[in-house]
Amino acid sequence: MKGYKFRMAIKNKNLSFLLICLAIFSFKSYSAEPVPTRENKLTIGAGLSHYSVPYTAMDSTLQAVPLFDIQYGPLFAYNYHEEPVLGFELFRHKRVMLALAAIYGNQELDASEASKDKAWLYYGIEDRDKATEAALIFDFYSKVGLVEILVARDISNTYDGFRSFISWSRPFHETGNWTITPGMYGRYYSVEYNDYYYGITEKEMDKAIDLVVNQGAFVNGRNLTENQYRQLRPAYTAENAGQFGVDLKIDYNFTEYLKAQGYIGLEQLAGQVTSSDLTEDADIWRLSLGLAYTF
């Protein structure tokens, strides 16, 4: 337990150091951010997205993703890596904007993707699908950067809960062809969200016991009794959790219309989630790189 607490303390210190560095570098220029103006735009492209999967015995994913940033009056849509958003601005005045949006989440679990030697961890586990959510987005373009608050509720009958986050970001000034925007954020996940994606239900335990005891499925090359399997992979109910992360968006403008887009983000999973036997890695990396054209 002491070793675990020590490792968590080191991770928290590392994340705190990253947050401090982002804040210091972002305030290199003390000029206030200008009042934003809404302009119609159509930027579309394609890229590759890498996502480090938190689940035990599963490889990270690499997939092709569409990249877009669209504004047409109060309508907008964007996708910077792998979580597309489509929205409508309800209110905008100077530095404040309120919008209603739909989000297609990126979190999912496909139990068949687990390595063969650890397949027993997923006995009886049903796949966890991506969710479609309705969200309220509040943007405050403060003089020291963009503050965004988002509250999303599952409307697809997937995890039947909600999540929210608050973020702060500010681009560097005077970077020539580069647009570099560091950010930091905090996320809150409800009990329903964490339990759906990281929990193990009693129903799933019953299915696993049937496989192990009645059908003779092997666990690490041997047969186990019900009690032995329950001790090895018990049922688990997650709780709500708050998590923190940092990210960096980078654009390089080859011309006025063509640019390369990059994204890198690090989020640390909270203790309630990492206590699940399904979770292996508490540090979740998200990276993407692509090309986009503005019409």
Domain assignment present for 76 = yes
Domain assignment present for 215 = no
Q: What is the pTM of this model?
A: 0.86
* Domain harbouring 115, CATH code: 2.40.160.40
From the list 285, 240, 230, 237, the residue with the least C-alpha distance to 263 is 285
Overall domain count for the chain = 1
- Higher-pLDDT residue of 75 and 28 is 75
Domain assignment present for 288 = yes
Residues in the chain: 295
From the list 218, 201, 294, 212, the residue with the least C-alpha distance to 253 is 294
Domain assignment present for 202 = no
Check if the beta carbon of residue 73 is closer than 8 Å to that of residue 42: no
Check if the beta carbon of residue 77 is closer than 8 Å to that of residue 54: no
Domain assignment present for 237 = no
Domain assignment present for 84 = yes
Check if the beta carbon of residue 100 is closer than 8 Å to that of residue 135: yes
Domain assignment present for 197 = no
**Owning domain of residue 75:** 2-190+242-294
Domain assignment present for 43 = yes
Strand residues in 114-237 grouped as ranges (E): 132-142, 145-154, 162-169, 178-189
Task: Give the pLDDT of residue 174.
Answer: 81
Check if the beta carbon of residue 81 is closer than 8 Å to that of residue 21: no
Segments in 210-259 forming alpha helices (H): 226-232
Percent of the chain with pLDDT over 90: 81
Query: pLDDT tens across 7-48, in order?
Result: 444 455 455 545 555 554 444 444 567 778 889 999 999 999
Query: pLDDT tens across 165-221, in order?
Result: 999 999 998 889 999 999 999 999 999 999 999 999 999 999 999 999 999 999 988
